[in-house]
């Protein structure tokens, strides 16, 4: 049976904003989540192909299978979140319970201590599946937490920017410490393992900080939501469905960029310049762009609105991919190639910031349509599209390598400490072409879907006013019913 709480009208766009320590604490939670999400997104394909020796086409199948598995993991996690309420709140306890197991599972993904090829594939699949389940149990409540911390649009934009900074911080560490070692490390397996152990310790501190600083303040009419109520809310949430579809497309393109970033740095840009600096620079200006672009998210939200900001960022990402292809394959210019990657990274960073703010808005739309807040299910649907996007993007990156004729080091060469081989010029040109086709094509699909997204800033303001009115009415009714119950109780006592 649902447990009801006294409804209270939410104050929107008024009163004090979230204090800095809560914004910082919330951002650290995304840094913790991205230890697993970005480390696998950036390096797991390289680990499979160049360290473990799993063929690219088999790696692609592993990524796709895990994302089908993640569909069930996200549904399960969303239902657990919606059915939970503790003295610590609805979402914060999951950070306490599952964050450390998540970081430990990330370590298992980069430690495959078997030699048989079939067992390598099995270990890779099972460890990645375990990480996917635990990621759902942490990331879905973490993402839902934003909607419970504030309903102020400015605060939500600031929280979206904070989590982008947290994500960028993790990526920056990976870019500076791990990316340069991919080409030159004498023992790449040991390098990955040491990094995963260090992240286990650091990430635990991040998550515990988020748990300690976050505070759930948004009132809800129903604390524990039934499965029927969850399905009804998600089914009637058209903006959420459009956002999920658009996010699936852009995240697929983004993860093509992320998964191929090191191959681009070492192989495509390596023919223009010697040295290990390319890996660090490419990682920073593509995936790490969220760190230096996130402050512009709130500015663009105020100037353009979230929907138009998303569309502009998507167009920028496509332009960047085209510039990169022209620089790497047509003019063979290092500066033009880097410019294209920078524009692509900036566009993807703004897309990320806008998407998180848009997701929080769809929670309010669901409440507006049904009267029930289902942050867990709403974020589960959104999280599923993110993970499927990562899986498809990494699979496409794997197949781009296979279609290009990418040559892996043999077992004998890896035993000699060789983790990378020089590629034929025709292979390099094909890699650049497939990169542009896959990444740019999915960015375009994201724009086409988002074009019909209905929640403009004006419409969202109308929805929030309606929700506030309904909550005020419910609060008055609750107070009136309580007064009647007390009055009847007094009359009964007097008669006795």
What does the pLDDT profile of the chain (496 residues) look like in tens digits?
333 333 333 334 444 577 888 888 998 998 998 888 788 877 888 899 888 889 888 988 898 888 778 777 877 887 787 777 777 888 889 999 999 999 999 999 999 989 899 999 999 999 999 998 999 899 888 887 877 787 776 777 788 778 878 877 887 787 777 777 666 666 778 888 888 899 899 999 999 999 999 888 765 554 555 556 556 666 677 788 888 889 899 999 998 998 888 888 888 888 777 666 777 788 788 877 767 776 777 777 778 888 888 999 999 999 999 999 999 888 888 899 999 999 999 999 888 878 877 876 777 777 777 666 666 667 667 777 777 887 888 889 988 988 998 887 777 776 666 667 778 889 999 999 999 999 999 999 999 999 988 877 677 777 777 777 766 765 565 455 545 544 555 555 555 5
What is each CA distance from 422 to 55, 105, 259, 282, 481, in whole angstroms?
17, 33, 19, 19, 77
| pLDDT at res. 302 | 76
Token output for 397: 């990156």
Determine the pLDDT at residue 12. Answer: 41
Q: Is the pTM of this model over 0.85?
A: no
- The helix (H) or strand (E) run that includes residue 483 is helix 457-495
Place of tokens 């320590």: 21
Longest Cα–Cα distance in the chain: 97
Question: H or E segment at 38?
Answer: helix 20-46
Helical axes 277-285 vs 153-173, angle rounded to 10°? 170
**CA torsion through residues 302, 31, 42, 173, sign:** positive
Residue 222 pairs in a beta bridge with 4
Q: Which of 438, 34, 31 is nearest to 257 (CA)?
A: 438
Give the residues across from 4 on adjacent strands. Answer: 222
Query: What tokens were used for 306?
Result: 């979230």
CATH architecture of the domain with range 20-212+238-474: Up-down Bundle (1.20)
What is the per-residue pLDDT for 68?
A: 76
Question: What b-and-e string marks burial along 139-174, b requiring 16 or more CB atoms within 10 Å of the CB?
Answer: bbbbbbbbbbbbbbbebbbbbbbbbbbbbbbbbbbb
Cα distance between residue 233 and residue 239, in whole Å: 12
Q: Which of 385, 390, 353 is nearest to 242 (CA)?
A: 385
How many CB atoms are closer than 10 A to CB 494?
Answer: 7
Would you say 403 and 434 are in contact if contact means Cβ atoms under 8 Å apart?
Answer: yes
| Helices 153-173 and 296-304, axial angle in degrees (round to 10) | 140
Which residues make Cβ contacts (< 8 Å) with residue 172, sequence separation at least 6?
284, 288, 291
Residue 431, both tokens? 């890699």
Q: What are the structure tokens assigned to 288, written together? A: 């790490």
Is the CB of residue 261 less than 8 Å from the CB of residue 282? yes
Output the pLDDT for position 10.
37
Q: Decide if 38 contacts 31 (C-beta within 8 A).
A: no
Residue 493 phi/psi, 5-degree rounding, is -65, -40
Question: C-alpha distances in angstroms, 383 versus 141, 327, 459?
Answer: 10, 34, 24
Q: Count Cβ neighbours within 10 Å for each residue of 331-362 and write b for 16 or more, e otherwise.
A: ebebebbbbbbbbbbbbbbbbbbbbbbbbbbb
Beta bridge partners of 86: 89
Quickly list DSSP for 140-151: HHHHHHHHHH--
Closest C-alpha among 493, 388, 409, 461 to residue 153:
461
Measured CA to CA in angstroms, residue 166 lies from 24, 288, 353 at distances of 8, 10, 12
List 89's β-bridge partners, or say none: 86
pLDDT on residue 5:
37
pLDDT at 167: 79
pLDDT of residue 222: 46
């Amino acid at each position: 049976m649902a447990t009801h709480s006294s409804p209270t009208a939410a104050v929107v766009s008024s009163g004090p904003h979230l204090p800095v320590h809560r914004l910082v604490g919330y951002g650290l939670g995304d840094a913790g989540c991205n230890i697993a999400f970005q480390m696998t997104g950036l390096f797991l394909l390289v680990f499979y192909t160049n360290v473990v020796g799993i063929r690219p086409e088999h790696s692609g199948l592993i990524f796709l299978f895990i994302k089908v598995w993640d569909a069930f993991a996200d549904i399960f996690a969303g239902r657990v979140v919606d059915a939970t309420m503790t003295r610590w709140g609805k979402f914060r306890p999951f950070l306490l319970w599952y964050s450390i197991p998540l970081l430990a599972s990330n370590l298992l993904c980069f430690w495959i201590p078997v030699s048989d090829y079939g067992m390598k594939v099995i270990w890779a699949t099972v460890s990645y599946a375990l990480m996917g389940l635990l990621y759902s149990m942490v990331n879905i409540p973490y993402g839902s937490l934003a909607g419970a911390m504030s309903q102020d649009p400015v605060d939500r934009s600031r929280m979206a920017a904070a989590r982008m900074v947290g994500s960028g911080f993790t990526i920056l560490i990976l870019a500076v410490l791990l990316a340069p070692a991919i080409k030159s490390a004498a023992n790449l397996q040991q390098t990955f393992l040491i990094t995963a152990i260090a992240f286990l310790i650091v990430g635990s501190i991040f998550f515990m900080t988020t748990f300690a600083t976050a505070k759930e303040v948004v009132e809800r009419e129903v604390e524990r939501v039934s499965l029927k109520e969850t399905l009804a809310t998600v089914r009637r949430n058209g903006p959420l469905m459009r956002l999920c579809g658009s996010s699936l497309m852009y995240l697929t393109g983004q993860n093509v960029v992320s998964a191929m970033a090191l191959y681009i740095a070492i192989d495509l840009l390596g023919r223009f310049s010697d040295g290990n600096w390319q890996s660090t620079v490419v990682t920073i200006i593509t995936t790490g762009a969220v760190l230096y672009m996130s402050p512009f998210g709130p500015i663009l939200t105020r100037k353009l609105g979230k929907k138009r900001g998303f569309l502009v960022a998507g167009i920028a990402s496509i332009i960047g991919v085209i510039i990169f292809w022209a620089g790497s394959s047509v003019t063979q210019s290092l500066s033009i190639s880097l410019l294209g990657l920078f524009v692509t990274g900036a566009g993807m960073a703004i897309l990320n910031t806008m998407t998180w703010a848009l997701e929080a808005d769809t929670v309010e739309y669901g409440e507006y349509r049904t009267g029930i807040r289902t942050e867990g299910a709403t974020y589960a649907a959104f999280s599923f599209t993110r993970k499927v996007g990562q899986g498809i993007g990494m699979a496409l990156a794997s197949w781009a390598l296979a279609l290009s004729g990418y040559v892996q080091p043999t077992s004998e060469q890896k035993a000699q400490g060789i983790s990378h081989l020089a590629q034929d010029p025709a292979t390099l040109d094909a890699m650049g072409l497939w990169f542009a086709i896959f990444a740019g094509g999915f960015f375009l699909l994201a724009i086409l879907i988002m074009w019909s997204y209905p929640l403009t800033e004006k419409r969202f303001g109308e929805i929030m006013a309606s929700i506030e009115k309904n909550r005020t009415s419910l609060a008055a009714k609750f107070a009136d019913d309580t007064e009647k119950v007390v009055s009847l109780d007094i009359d009964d006592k007097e008669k006795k």
